[in-house]
Structure 1
Amino acid sequence: MKHSLRWLLRLIGPALLIFFLWRSDPAALVAALVGIDPGPAILSLALMPVFIWVKAWRWSIIVREQGHTPPSLNDLAALYAIGLYAGGITPGQSGDFIKAWYLRERGVPLAPGLLSILLDRLFDFVIWAVMAVLSLAAFIDVFPAETRGVVQLATVGFAAAVLIATPGLMARAPREWALGLAIPLAPARLRAALERLRDQFAPLSLRFTPLLLLLISTIGSATSTFVRIYLMYLALRLGDIPLLEILAATGLIAILQALPISFAGVGVRDAVLIAMLQRHGHAAEIALSLSALFLLINIQHILIGFLVSLRYPLGEAPSDVTKTGGGDVEG
């Protein structure tokens, strides 16, 4: 039953896309796609290396702050591309965690590797949390009046949780205080897991210089993503859309794509774009065409990540790797 429910949830996005396509005009959709300006679209795709290198740089900072020596930036960029491929073909981008097994082969124990990916995602969520609050101003009128209070509460609650949890996990004092309260109260099985978690977090401390670098790299990552997205708007000659609404829509889409209700954002991305563009007088077919351009970015990530994975097969770590983790007791 639980397995069936998980698959039903994953089909929400594709079902939405089928519904939108069923209600659209095929001729208008083809006309919108044919009328794309290729210049901005090609430039957006060409900026993928910038996006990956900034992400890899931030990941290296996190691994180093955990007390481990990260692989070279070239190696991390390759692993990040593989994570984009694995995440793009799995619900909620869960396949991205395969990077931890690649890290293990390069000297970083599995548990810290998994934790580094979680922290990397949390820093993305910091930006998404801010964008989620922006989305309230941009999209709250889309929801029925009786549900707006709940939507506002959930959105602000999500943003507050992320903005508190991320520095709270990085800072030793509040983390130790929270775990010190939770561990004695937890059931025996959960208590052991929390103790292991405390050990894995132990090297992390909220120091000014690494935190500043993490914030800079996160802003750089978000900026590279937004520029690539905005270029796709320009490819469809949608320069009349306010930047604030584009930012809000980008954040809302990123949050929905992280949920296990779709594959590569299919369907949920279309729903957000249709709601936004129709407010500015653009047909649903334009929104579906824009979503197809966003999907093209995801397909690029998947294709290049797949090709990189052939060059970096799991189980064949470089022979010159220096083990730094003292052994992988987690398996």
Structure 2
Amino acid sequence: MRRLVSWLLRLIGPLLLLVFIATSDLRLLWDILRSAEPAPVIWSLALFPPFIIIKSWRWIQIMRGMQLDLDLPTACALYTVGLFYGTVTPGQAGDLLKAVYLRERGIPTAPALLSVVLDRLCDLIVMAALGTIGVFALGRLLPSRELQQAIVILTGTGLVLMSVLLTARKPRSWLLTTILPRLAPRLRARLDRWNEQMHSLTLTTGLIGIVGGATFISASFTFLRIWLLFLALDLSAVPLLVVVGATALISVLQVLPISFGGVGIRDVVLFAILSAYGYTQEQALTLSVLFLLINIEHLLIGFIVSFWFPLGRSGTISL
């Protein structure tokens, strides 16, 4: 029963997309897509290498803070494979498979998983903060400003608590050795072992600054790639700040296990944003198609790289 409910929740996004398609003029949508400027789209796709390199470098810095080591070429490859698995799984859960790859390379499970979660958390914190712009841009769809503020406060509080519990040694140890063993007594030995393995994480001002700077740069590449897609469709009436907020909000919502690759969820946000500036549902769907091109790029490149990094076989690559 629980599995059935889980699958039904994942169908929410695709069903929303079907509703949009059924109520749209597909001929007009095709005409808008044909009129798109190809150069900005090509540039958006071409920015994939620096995007993946800066994210992989940040992941390496997090691992170094845990006295773990991984070379940049291998990190880039594993990160790309993680994007592939994340794209094809609800809530991007497949991205956590990077921890399995690390374990096969001799890194204990707990710190490997923690490095992946912290890496994801960096993006979530930035996107959640900037996503508040998108929440307020969607104000006309929400019953009241109080609800907008509640969403922002609850999201921010949840991310702060998660950050503290994962990164601060004492709260993390309290969670693993006191709270979770009470909820799952049979896992006490494993949780104690994980706590010992995670003890190597040392957060310093320098590490926080490096990871924060890398997160800002990687987020900037994301926003630049999306802004280029807006330019391709001549959606110039939408302010850049709103583009940033909408992109961040979509990134946060895609984490929820209610869709596949953000399908449907992305369309709802884009339609709500664009309609506020006088654009049509067909233009919003066309923009969503261009968004999908980036996801397809991540999926295809990650799929190809995965042949060199099959699960169950460790190894590294060299430039």
Q: Structure 2 length normalisation: TM-score?
A: 0.93
Matched, 1:126 2:129: no
8 Å contact kept, 1:10–1:260: yes
Matched, 1:293 2:290: yes
Q: CA deviation at 1:186?
A: 4.9
8 Å contact kept, 1:69–1:108: no
Query: What is the rounded CA distance, in whole Å, between the counterparts of 1:82 and 1:265 in structure 2?
Result: 18
Q: CA deviation at 1:316?
A: 2.6
State the SS of the aligned residue for 1:311.
Answer: coil
The residue aligned with 1:49 is 49
Q: Counterparts in 2 of 1:162-181, with a 5 A limit? A: 162-176=159-173
Gap regions ≥5 residues in structure 2: none
Partner residue of 1:267 out of 258, 264, 267: 264
Matched, 1:154 2:151: yes
Query: What is the rounded CA distance, in whole Å, between the counterparts of 1:318 and 1:206 in structure 2?
Result: 29
Q: CA deviation at 1:213?
A: 0.7
CA gap of 1:184–1:103, structure 2 versus 1, over 3 A, is closer
Amino acid at match of 1:289: T
Query: What is the rounded CA distance, in whole Å, between the counterparts of 1:190 and 1:84 in structure 2?
Result: 30
Query: What is the rounded CA distance, in whole Å, between the counterparts of 1:136 and 1:77 in structure 2?
Result: 33
Amino acid at match of 1:55: K
8 Å contact kept, 1:129–1:163: no
CA gap of 1:313–1:191, structure 2 versus 1, over 3 A, is closer
Query: What is the rounded CA distance, in whole Å, between the counterparts of 1:173 and 1:53 in structure 2?
Result: 32
Query: What is the rounded CA distance, in whole Å, between the counterparts of 1:121 and 1:31 in structure 2?
Result: 38
Q: Structure 1 length normalisation: TM-score?
A: 0.90
Amino acid at match of 2:23: R
Query: What is the rounded CA distance, in whole Å, between the counterparts of 2:216 and 2:169 in structure 1?
Result: 24
Matched, 1:202 2:214: no
The residue aligned with 1:232 is 229
Matched, 1:40 2:40: yes
Query: What is the rounded CA distance, in whole Å, between the counterparts of 1:50 and 1:21 in structure 2?
Result: 34
The residue aligned with 1:79 is 78
Which is further off, 182-191 or 94-103? 182-191
The residue aligned with 2:134 is 135
Amino acid at match of 2:61: I
The residue aligned with 1:102 is 101
Which is further off, 203-212 or 299-308? 203-212
Gap regions ≥5 residues in structure 1: 322-331
The residue aligned with 2:88 is 89
State the SS of the aligned residue for 2:307.
Answer: helix
Q: Counterparts in 2 of 1:9-28, with a 5 A limit? A: 9-28=9-28
CA deviation map 1:173-216 (0-9, x unaligned): 44446666636855523544543342232111221111111101
Query: What is the rounded CA distance, in whole Å, between the counterparts of 2:165 and 2:9 in structure 1?
Result: 31
CA gap of 1:42–1:98, structure 2 versus 1, over 3 A, is same
CA root-mean-square deviation: 2.1
Q: CA deviation at 1:60?
A: 0.6
Q: Counterparts in 2 of 1:204-219, with a 5 A limit? A: 204-219=201-216
CA gap of 1:172–1:279, structure 2 versus 1, over 3 A, is same
Q: Percent identity?
A: 45
Query: What is the rounded CA distance, in whole Å, between the counterparts of 1:85 and 1:142 in structure 2?
Result: 33
Query: What is the rounded CA distance, in whole Å, between the counterparts of 1:61 and 1:17 in structure 2?
Result: 39
Which is further off, 235-244 or 155-164? 155-164
Query: What is the rounded CA distance, in whole Å, between the counterparts of 2:90 and 2:187 in structure 1?
Result: 26
8 Å contact kept, 1:44–1:229: yes
Amino acid at match of 1:44: S
CA deviation map 1:130-171 (0-9, x unaligned): 0232223322222133xx534431331111221343255323
Amino acid at match of 1:221: S
Which is further off, 172-181 or 86-95? 172-181
